[in-house]
Amino acid sequence: MYNENALDRISREHRWIGVTFFLDLINGLSLTFKYMFSKSVTMQYPDREKWVPYPRHRGHHVLRRDENGENKCVACELCAKICPCNCITVVPYEDENGKRRPLVYDVDMARCLYCGLCEDSCPEEAIALGSVFEYSSYTSEELVVGRDSLLEMDGKTGDPGSVVKARYLPLAQCTVEAQESSGHDWWRFIHRKD
Amino acid sequence: MELMIAVAVIMVKVVLITVILFIVPVPLTWLERKIAGHIQQRMGPMRVGWHGLLQPVADGLKLLTKEDNIPDQSDRVLFKIAPFVALVPPFMVFVAVPFGEDVSILGYETPLYLSDMNVGLLYILAVAGLEIYGVIFGGWASNSKYALLGSLRTCAQLISYEIPMGFAVIGVIMLSQSMNLSDIVDAQEPLWFIIYQPLGFFIFFIAGLAEAQRIPFDLAEAEGDLGAGYHTEYSGMRFSFFMISEYLVMLTISVLCVLLFFGGWHGVLIPLPAPIWLALKVGFFIYLFMWFRFTFPRYRYDQLMSIGWKVLVPLSILNILITGIFIY
């Protein structure tokens, strides 16, 4: 559609005619004019829109619960051992049912490199990397996240790979709140050669 | 009493034109960034005001509050003078530009121009040529190789494109038998000069692009190879003076294109007030300038020179010959 050049249709020895009448320049101008009135692809991220990551996205850690609503983690400490940057701290204890559970499960977000090895090594599929990516903070202490907040985190949410309408919450929260569950496919406005 | 009123009217007009010319670059920068954005499938400024309309105000405030840096080894006097030397000629050009026929405001008949010179066109070409001094001063005084190279390029470019520009205008002068801009516009009432002078308009427009230092002839401030050309070392208010001057030159070229070739304030089909028709046509040309800017790459320096001297000058002489034969 756009790759067809008016000059290509003229044979080589008559090309000077096209150059004299600025066919190449007119071709370029018509291309940019088409782009001028096509939909822009900008995602207005903090203000109006938000990107929902794909399921493969490795964001904020999540501790999953089983069907009874109990923490799946058995505090085997495999994640802490495999972690290349030692950002996971697990302290086990025995709960009232005689099961091994984590007393402490701290993830240092400032050290984590989001490789996902903890997710791969977990035998109970308890730890996972979710799709939350807005958790910046002013101090590195706030980035050490404990067991209870990890249990409350959202996992893979929303309609993956789409752009949803959102609202910016400034100051204290400093996050962008999604306002609809499924949005539009961002790629639909991208021009491609047919 | 008559004299008092006449002087007062002129003063009001001077203030009005000066204020309008200072304000016009503000929406133009916004428009330029918007057009740039949409041509590249972006949105341009969106965050300050509705669709970024207040962005130029924010930019202006930023430029006002920035440090006014003067390089240590520069020629301080010339460095301070240069922005004003560049800024004044575009304002002076608009003394001779008519914006419409006579209008009566509060029962007082007044023409929509400051001065109705009988050599208006010559005056405009001469004064517009003075802008080059600001560029040369700025480039020389900065004591920077980029600024100096930029101003040398500008100098050569402006001088070599002023010749085809002047020659292209001669065809219009021959047709209207006058150098007065109001007379030239009146002569176009039956048919615009673009019909008689397509070649003349073509040469004038290309030379105008070069005079306004717009892409594809913006070698003076080729970002890739010269930093920012002659205003590399400028910052704050002095830089914004150079920018205002550039936008005003673009406006001047657009106004001249409309007045000389596109029937000035004479409308087609829809009856609108004369200044509005003029503004619409000028707006179209400004859009054309910006559209060109975000479509074309810039020419190489030798290509620029050969287009000027080997193509435009012979073509403009040919145009004068053809016009002469037809009139005869």
Question: What mean pLDDT value characterizes chain B?
Answer: 87
Would you place residue A133 in the very low, low, confident or very high pLDDT band (cuts 50, 70, 90)? confident
Whether A32 and B37 lie within 8 Å, measured CB to CB: no
Residue A105 clears pLDDT 90, i.e. is over it: yes
Cross-chain Cβ contact A32/B41 below 8 Å: no
pLDDT above 90: residue B284: yes
Q: Output the pLDDT for position B266.
A: 84
Whether B295 sits inside 8 A of A29 (CB atoms) is yes
Q: Cα angle at A183 between A182 and A186, to 5 degrees? A: 140
The model's confidence at residue A2, banded by pLDDT at 50, 70 and 90, is very low
A 10 A CB-CB count for B79 gives: 20
String of DSSP letters for B256-322: HHHHHHS-TT--SSS---HHHHHHHHHHHHHHHHHHHHTTPPPPPHHHHHHIIIIIIHHHHHHHHHH
Q: Which residues of B touch A38 (CB under 8 A)?
A: 41
Q: What is the mean pLDDT of residues B266-288?
A: 86
How many percent of chain B have pLDDT more than 70?
Answer: 99
pLDDT band of residue A1 (cuts 50, 70, 90) is very low
> Is pLDDT above 80 for A13?
no
Task: Please provide residue A52's backbone torsions phi and psi, each rounded to the nearest 5 degrees.
Answer: -95, 120
CB contact under 8 A, A41 and B41: yes
pLDDT tens digits, B46-78: 888 888 899 999 988 998 898 888 888 888 888
d(CA B172, CA B201): 9
Question: pLDDT-based confidence at A6, cuts 50/70/90?
Answer: low
> Which of B38, B42, B217, B315 to probe by mutation at the A interface, max A CB count within 10 Å?
B38
- List the alpha helices (DSSP H) in B130-192: 131-141, 145-176, 181-187
Task: Provide the percentage of residues in chain A whose pLDDT is more than 90.
Answer: 28
Closest chain A residue to the Cα of B294, Cα to Cα? A32
Cα(B190)–Cα(B207) distance, integer angstroms: 27
Read off the pLDDT of residues B117-138 as tens digits, 9 standing for 90 and up: 888 899 998 998 888 888 888 8
Helix (H, G, I), strand (E, B) or coil at B24: coil
Average pLDDT for residues B41-46, to the nearest whole number? 88
The mean pLDDT of chain A is 83
Over 80: is that where the pLDDT of A174 sits? no
**Cβ contact B43–A42 (<8 Å):** yes
- Under the banding of pLDDT at 50, 70 and 90, the label for residue B216 is confident
> B46 and A189: CB-CB below 8 Å?
no
- Predicted structure pTM score: 0.83
- Is the CB of A35 less than 8 angstroms away from the CB of B43? no
**Closest CB from B43, B47, B291 relative to A32:** B291
**pLDDT given at position A191:** 66
Is residue A88 a contact partner of residue A80, using CB atoms and an 8 Å limit? yes
Region of poorest pLDDT, from A43-47, A155-159, A163-167, B94-98: A155-159
Q: What number is the average pLDDT over the span A141-168? A: 84
Residue A110 amino acid letter: A
d(C-alpha B70, C-alpha B85), whole Å = 17
C-alpha pair distances (Å), A127 with each of A118, A160, B212, B236: 7, 20, 63, 54
Q: Is residue B51 classed exposed, middle or buried when 0-12, 13-18 and 19+ CB atoms within 10 A define those classes?
A: middle
Distance in Å, alpha carbon of B323 to nearest chain A alpha carbon: 21
CA distance B286 to chain A (A): 15
Q: pLDDT (tens digit, 9 = 90+) per residue, B140-189? A: 888 888 888 888 888 888 888 999 999 999 999 999 888 888 888 888 88
Q: Which of A25, A35, A42 sits opposite B39 (nearest CB)?
A: A35
Q: Determine which of A6-10, A54-58, B77-81, B299-303 has the lowest per-residue pLDDT on average.
A: A6-10
CB–CB of A26/B294 below 8 Å? no
Reply yes or no on whether the pLDDT at A193 is more than 60: no
Which positions in chain B touch A47 (Cβ < 8 Å)?
46-47
